[in-house]
Structure 1
Amino acid sequence: MIIELHLLQSFPVSNLNRDDVGQPKTATFGGYTRGRISSQCLKRAARQLFTDFGLDKSETAVRTKRLLDRAVAALTDRGRDAELASQVVTAGLQQLGFGVDENKGLTQYLLFVGQHAIDHLASYCDNNWDTLHGIATKAKAVTAKAKSDNEKPGTNEQRKSGKVAKPDKAAIAEARRILDASRVSDVALFGRMIADNKDFSVEAACQVAHAISTHAVINEFDYYTAVDDLKPREESGADMIGTIDFNSACYYRYANLNLEQLAHNLAGDQDLINRTARAWLYSFIHAVPSGAQNSMAARTMPDTLLGVVRDRGAWNLANAFQRPVTDADIMAASTERLTHHFRQLRTFYGNTDLRDIAAASVTGDVPHFDDTEIVAGIDDFTGRVLTGATA
């Protein structure tokens, strides 16, 4: 069973997701430049809302390189010496197969882990304190000797990279417990890939497309000045000058959720599966990227919503906008394009795999759907989709 979510959302002056030079991200589609919001940006915006829509914080994850610092803090709270704890946790992470940059105190990779991971890591280090302390002491002695012997070029670089030997079976079992995501909703949804050990990877249950504008865009910039409030009146001129890039666009957003994969990732816990699906749906509808919001406040809601429950397959409807919309009423024209394209796909490929459909609009105008498929509000929309997915 698959849930598909299609949204049309218009943003005024905004820079929701910027590129490496500070401009709003773009993409070329259908031969025209479009505004773009990356899938990673949309996922993060949605993740931050999960606890607002029914998930407990303990059922969500963190993405971090700072497990070492947090585990050290936990051990310090248990009465361990902070300096020794840092050495022990570093040795513990390396024994478990996680590279550590000892100069920065960070893991080699960003790790996507449940809230429990810090406590589990701290407990592992606490329970194996003497062994890990011995390993850390030995490593420290080897490093000191290498420095006194004027270590060969490359040795220090290898040490900084945090590369470690492959862990034994016992260490793998402990690492699996620390990385367990069977009750971590966002890891179950968005997956996890650990290059050094694919046994710890999780296949994502959710796919998210980059949002693209339904029309062509040209990025603009705001030239601004600021004046020193305490400057004497006789002095004129600005005390700061700069520019901020922005655009205005109506975006087509698409995401889907494979409920079978979600159930597998969450070990069949039906209550958690249902609450995760509900949080996913509400969060993606309400998700707004945080980029430049303090200066632009582009906090709008989707205008047109389409939810599809299907037994298999997936239809991203972006090709409805391969030819950019040029009408004066961009939202109305985009809605017409979206719904017409969906009707064409239904006519050509058939309704066999479609289990239920819910369409809604803030304005109430949703062409090309039967009255039985149109709902009036957000709760009716989400209720229809979730009920169709569990029926």
Structure 2
Amino acid sequence: MQARVLIVSVFILLECFHLFGQESRKEVCIGFPVGNSILDTAYGDNAVRLSGMVSFLESVRKDSTLELTEVSFYGSASPEDSFTMNRELAEKRRNSLERYVRECVSLPDGIISCSEGGIAWERLVELVEVSDIPHKEETMDVLRNVPEFIYNNKGILVDSRKKRLMELQHGRIWRYMHEHFFNQIRNVGVILVMVRQKPVIEEKSVFKEDPAAVVEEVDTVVAVSTETSKPFCMAAKTNILYNVLAVPNIGVEFYLGRNWSISGNWMYAWWKKNSNHRYWRVYGGDFAVRYWFGKKAHERSLTGHHAGIYGQAFTYDFEWGGKGYMGGEPGGTLWDKTNYAVGLEYGYSLPVARRLNIDFSLGVGYWGGKYHEYTPLGGHYVWQTTKNRHWFGPTKAEVSFVWLLGRSNSKKGGGR
């Protein structure tokens, strides 16, 4: 409880609005639970701070006298854990902040910058500088003058700022900072906004002396409107299971925001060999609405756990030298007594590359529709029976390659 009070206190101190002539700066700090990168609006004062920042951005966008020059996102962690772990955690926190803000406010890509996350050394310097820590001068010398990493001529890491701090006074300085400072820099994400006054363009009048008349020339300035659009996220995909079964297929999925998406898939296979009575025909499609959740879903669109509802419509004709099965109306189209299915689905989209996921999904529901059984006889096909299908169980299975498209679909990292 004490640590949480200290964190909230630091957030209040850090939130500021500084004026520098015609340019202003607004900074807000957002809290994260220990070791967590998921943005929780119910944590601490996050709801109030995020709402205030979103309202501020909206007001600047609507003010014709102001313009946004930069919106920066920064995530940080304390020095206790490994550098790799700290950098990864800070990067995920930064991505969570950017995703939340850009879903709430339409911002052009050109003003977005993402600082590389890591240990909040600058904030630690500020805390040490105003503290009563023993051996302050020695500690400040390490913080300001020792590089974060020191390599020899062969590129081998031989020393670091963290190591020097841990060795100061046989570890007493490190223990002091752990007790008094680390809890204030451990769980922080920062949003920084730069705003400036739009330049005022004055009309210039030029007068030419003329015995007959005075002519006023006025420079004309044409205002160019700037339009911004919400980040576009989508994916193209194909089901590997269907491809293995010689059923070509393709699908698309569109991210709607707030962790919701819609997807559609189409398959078409029309293989036949009359001489051997071989028919492998199926075509149709499905439509699904999905909700994305979990840790990965907060880091990147169309990634992580998802659940949803789906509907399918399809027709088929399968016969392999013996009894055949045909779904739908013989000689008809997809809509002539088509087979259909509806159900619930769950899946997980696993990121394997910057713009490539593998999606594993399974759907369970109801499959209905009319189908016919027939037997090949010579060069003809003899209808045996017509039945209505009523099936409850698995009706959908996917192991799909998913190609991520759009500005907000690549894993973010580094400056832009």
TM-score by length of 1: 0.22
Q: Which has the larger radius of gyration?
A: 2
Higher strand fraction (1 or 2): 2
TM-score by length of 2: 0.21
